[in-house]
Amino acid sequence: MTAAPQEPAGDRAGWDLSTAVVLFHDALGARLGVGATDHKALGLVRRDGPMTLSAIAAGLGVVAGAATAVVDRLEAAGLVERFRDPGDRRRVLVRPLSGAAPAERDAYARLGRETAAFMAGLGEDERRAVLDYIALTRRLLEEETARLRGA
The counts of H helices and E strands in the chain are 6, 2
pLDDT value at residue 83: 95
User: pLDDT band at residue 22, thresholds of 50, 70 and 90?
Assistant: confident
Burial of 70 (0-12, 13-18, 19+ CB in 10 A): buried
pLDDT value at residue 10: 65
pTM of model > 0.75: no
Tens-digit pLDDT profile for residues 80-131 = 999 999 989 899 999 999 877 787 888 889 999 999 999 999 999 999 999 9
